[in-house]
Structure 1
Amino acid sequence: MKPRVSLREALNDPSLMGHVLAGESFKATRTILIASMGEELTDDERPLFTKLTGRAHEPLQRVSELVEVIGRRGSKTQGMAACATYLAGLVDYRDVLVPGETGVLLCLAQDQRVAKQLLDYCEANFAASPILSQLVLNRTSDTIELKGNIRIEVRPASFRKLRGPTYIAVIADEVAFWFTEEGRVNIDTEIIASVTPGLLTTHGMLIMASSPYAKRGVLWDVYKKHFGPNGSPSVLVCQGTTRDFNPTIEQSEIDRLLEKDPARNAAEYLAIFRTDLQPYVSIEAAESCVDAGVFERPPNDKTTYYGFVDPSGAAVDSFTACVAHMNYGEQTVTIDAIRETKVPFSPEQVCEEYAKLFQSYRIGTIFSDKYAGAWPVEQFGRFGIRCEQSAKPKSDLYTDLLPLILSARVHLIDHPKMIAQLCALERRTARGGRDSIDHPPNGFDDIINAVAGAVSISLFRYGSYNLRAMGDGDDDDDPDGARAWRARRLSAFIYSGGLVRL
């Protein structure tokens, strides 16, 4: 690969990219991009470079990875679009692409809407240049096709269909907020690992730009290892506040937001990784509780089962259900069945389907929270199932579930999406010191919430009956098992709605 012109020359040439990143407000963005291409900085630019990277001098060689940890509204997308325009339009790849091979500049973003914005910026950059505009052959909703077998493609961050293409560069937008994909954990790490081999033959750059989030994931890993003077010369990491990269934002607005929510907005606008977030549980602990190859357990006439539902209360939430039972004497809980129905759906049809599931396990009373309103009670009642909206808040349900996960006292079925949601949960510490547990922004916990609810109901209580206490005696304390037998019979009577007699 051979640059036809340096990035600095392109940004200063009105016929090329002189209109891109123009003005003093983009100085930080220009400085970092120019340095990442191995170009020399001016004496005026170098102090800013040192401030943002912790390094005394620019690398003077094109880096293989550029990582930008920048506050929100810090012109990250415009900077990445400028980089994409230069790498796709002003670099010659004929020496690294064989005849007929297409070089793809891949842009990955949180969703299709953000990805399209990045492509729109690229299109505008090409259209404003009398020279670069001649390279454009075609534009679709997710692709700009250029002369010379070069394509700029944008996609939402997904593990699917990334292997195979030859990449001239990969741009990852807001990578700290790529959380879980269906059935997968650590999706950011998996995506980056899957595209990296496609950069080998072209010596293409991997560019990540994001506001920071928790101290985990690929962004944090690279930042921790390479930020500052001891980082690899081939990996350039910069960190800057919103105003470092966009001084048009008023400091008074930043101060107001920091006062409102210091922990969240220090990450959003000061580019500081959050210290109030901790992972709920490790993938190793979660997988140790999974009975591999067991996808559902059939009903057993000698077992008392409990049911929990998490009705959909929003336009994007799934309606989920879970069946579980307690192993008396062992103080363990077993998950037997999980159901998920994605939107859109008919509430009546789903409640009828779930009612049949519960009845197959001889469950007459189920539990849920009150988030969805009264309709689950009414709909389940039509099909012979009593629905009590008396569940604990979900943060408390997750608190109850955690010790069982850590001590392997819950037997989970083999359900990858459930495990992904479980491992994505976060523990947050509020200013008052109180912890809460929830899914990350733009994440989901419909399935694991139903599982946690079923575990809590199975293990702890029904109304004022503390079933755990009734069955907790040691063998020496209850040699004939009478207490455990009474607890099982009482819970069977209660949860079956009187179908099982005392």
Structure 2
Amino acid sequence: MSAPPNIVEAMTDPEWFGPWFQGESWDGWRTVLKGMFAVPMTDDERAFFRTVSERDPPAEPSREMWAIVGRRGGKDSIASFIAAYIAATFSGQDKLRPGERPLVMSLACDRDQARICLNYIKGYFEQIDLFAGMIERETQTGFELSNGVDIAVATNSFRSVRGRPILAAILDETAFWRDESSANPDVETFNAIKPGLASIPNSLVIGISSPYRRSGLLFSKFRDHFGKASKTLVVKAPTRVLNPTIPQTIIDEAMAEDPAAASAEWMAEFRNDVSAFVSQEAVDACTSPDVLERPRVDGVKYSAFVDPSGGSSDSMTLAIGHSQLSEDKKRSIAVLDAVREIRAPFSPDDAVAEFATLLKSYAIRSVRGDRYGAEWVSQSFKKAGIEYKAADLSKSEIYRDLLPRLNSGEVDLLDNRRLTTQLLSLERRTARGGRDSIDHPPGGKDDVVNSVAGCVVYLTSARHQPVYPAMYSWSGQPINRKNPSRFDGPITEGELAGGYATAMR
């Protein structure tokens, strides 16, 4: 193979990638790539580049570019093209240790998306004559090339990217990355990639995504570098700016139906109607490090909340906790003692039996839960010797009541990674009428946090505490039955810490 053309020339050359990028509809992307690789531009191209970057073109090639582009804007086509070009033209083996193979990786938000990118890249090597015979061996995640480069496409995971010299990392749809074991998979994966880039000169990171909420790696790159003379190039463009073949009527209809969602999907604007539910700092302050579970203590009254499931897709979860006085003796703290999750698929009856055993070990004979399939859930728990009470608060109402408790430190959580991940992933959404709702993000999970939130909120909600029969303090003073938190006489700290049940005669 003779000296390769630059990436923009290769995109146009009919013997290279030209057949896939014919016509003026790709001119916008060609200009973006000229900016990234510091290829000279015409005056018209410089003017266009400023509209999508709010800056002058870089004088030197950028080793990091983030393209925030509307849906159907050609992101996958460009990502796979860049990966194929960089892999095919690599000639820097003298920069590596003997036997070391550089990696061109494309990380996507799910396996289906990853497979699309892999098929695009493979198609170039199978159909471009200049690349004939370069694929020496196919692997489970990609293939190996005759020039010593490996190409791999996978889902985002900070564990899978360590230990390899990275020639280029294409981060596809980073705004939508989800990982059940990480609250910040985009940030953690990006940080894991950086050491692998250090050993190869001119290695690249390219993030291409539609925008979502105003947080995470993509938004931080936009906030810190867009419109600035930075070494990190950030471009932002609505769909039709980079793909004018999309009919305007489709976008107009979407904007009329849901302006907030369409502004992100088609106009490449970060959403203002979606925000993080709780901060990392608040969750960290409420979590007891390295405490995975607390055993039952005699004399303590425990409560529980269950998030049922039919067993086919969602997990079934249970949370157990108790209430105790804070160190300053001025407020009540909800303490989480145990969390259980049974992942699908499973037998609902077996799950209920397992949960009932745990509940009884904490001397719990009744459990609250959401209204999902209330009849069969109630009957199943009844057979297991546990009374099931449907919650009178909705999931969104429970989350609403949980937030002030987290922010004020009135919760003591276990160090449970899935709980922390799901809690930090919760989103607050504002509907067109102004009403807020709180739920997991698209593709996310909230089974564990559902049961924990219900347990915590009901533990600390006075109106949901049981009304006891006539109760008396140790001094013989009657306790107000309508409001057990008020006493007709003094009560000791020991009586409060032990709970009302131990203060009964």
Could you state the TM-score of these two structures normalised by the residue count of structure 2?
A: 0.90
Q: What is the match of residue 477 of structure 2?
A: none
Superposed CA deviations along residues 247-288 of structure 1, whole A, max 9, x for unmatched, are 222111111111111112211110001112222211121111
State the shift of 1:16 in Å.
Answer: 1.6
Deviation at 1:12, TM superposition (A): 2.4
1:165-189 Cα offsets, whole Å, 9 max, x none, are: 000000100001124431x222211
Stretch moving more, 405-414 or 307-316: 307-316
Tell me if the contact between 1:21 and 1:79 (Cα under 8 Å) persists in the aligned partners.
no
Inter-partner Cα distance in structure 2 for 1:213 and 1:359: 44
**Conserved 8 A contact 1:309-1:319:** yes
- Indicate the percent of aligned positions where both proteins have the same amino acid: 36
Q: Which residue identity does 1:275 align to in structure 2?
A: N
Counting matched residue pairs gives 487
Residue 250 of structure 1 pairs with residue 244 of structure 2: no
CA 1:102–1:143 in 2, change beyond 3 Å: closer, same or farther? same
Matches within 5 A, 1:168-187: 168-182=167-181, 184-187=182-185
Describe how 1:50-199 pairs up with structure 2 within 5 A: 50-56=50-56, 58-182=57-181, 184-199=182-197
3-state SS of the aligned residue for 2:207? strand
Q: 2: CA distance between counterparts of 1:409 and 1:364?
A: 25
C-alpha distance in 2 between matches for 1:39 and 1:75: 21
Tell me by how many angstroms 1:419 deviates: 1.2
Q: Which residue of 2 aligns with 1:479?
A: 490
Partner of 1:17: 17
Report which stretch shifted further, 312-321 or 32-41. 312-321
Question: 2:459 touches 2:465 (CA, 8 Å); kept in 1?
Answer: no
Note if contact 1:71-1:241 (Cα within 8 Å) is conserved in structure 2. Answer: yes
The residue identity in structure 1 corresponding to 2:38 is: G
Kindly state the Cα deviation for residue 427 of structure 1 after the two structures are TM-superposed: 1.6
Cα drift, residue 25 of structure 1: 2.1
The one-letter amino acid paired with 2:9 is E
- C-alpha contact (below 8 Å) 1:313/1:371 kept by paired residues: no
Q: For 2:335 and 2:292, locate their aligned partners in 1 and report how far apart those are by CA, in whole Å.
A: 12
Relative to structure 1, is the Cα distance of residues 485 and 82 closer, same or farther in structure 2, using a 3 angstrom cutoff?
A: closer
What are the ranges of 5 or more consecutive residues in structure 1 without an aligned counterpart?
A: 493-500
Question: What amino acid sits opposite 2:66 in the alignment?
Answer: V
| TM-score for the superposition, normalised by structure 1 | 0.91
Distance 1:354 1:221, change over 3 A: same
Partner SS for 1:357:
helix
Shift of 1:446: 0.8
Cα distance in 2 for partners of 1:157, 1:428 equals 25
CA RMSD of aligned residues (A): 2.6
How much has 1:455 moved relative to structure 2? 1.2
CA contact (8 A) 2:458 2:465 kept: no
* 1:374 aligned partner: 375
| CA deviation map 1:386-420 (0-9, x unaligned) | 11222411111111111111111111112121111
Distance in 1 of aligned mates of 2:313 and 2:173 = 22
Deviation at 1:5, TM superposition (A): 2.0
- Any idea what SS the aligned residue of 2:345 has? coil
Counterpart AA for 2:382: G
Deviation, structure 1 residue 301 = 2.5
In 2, are the aligned partners of 1:226 and 1:235 still within 8 Å (CA)? yes
Alpha-carbon separation, structure 2, partners of 1:32 and 1:445: 39
The residue that corresponds to 1:34 in the other structure is 34
> Are the equivalent residues in 2 in contact too, given 1:20–1:82 (CA < 8 A)?
no
CA change 1:49–1:386 in 2 (3 A) is same
Q: 1:29 to 1:372 in 2, by over 3 A?
A: farther
Q: CA deviation at 1:442?
A: 1.0
* Higher mean C-alpha deviation, range 151-160 or range 15-24: 15-24
For the residues of structure 2 that align with 1:38 and 1:181, how far apart are their CA atoms? Answer: 39
Q: Which sections of structure 2, spanning at least 5 residues, go unmatched?
A: 469-480
Task: Confirm or deny: 8 A CA contact 1:180 1:424 kept in the other structure.
Answer: no
CA change 1:3–1:161 in 2 (3 A) is farther
Aligned CA distance change for structure 1 residues 455 and 366 (closer, same or farther; 3 Å): same
Moved more, 318-327 or 291-300: 291-300
After superposition, residues 342-361 of structure 1 pair within 5 angstroms as 342-361=343-362
Question: CA 1:173–1:314 in structure 2 vs 1: closer, same or farther (change >3 Å)?
Answer: farther
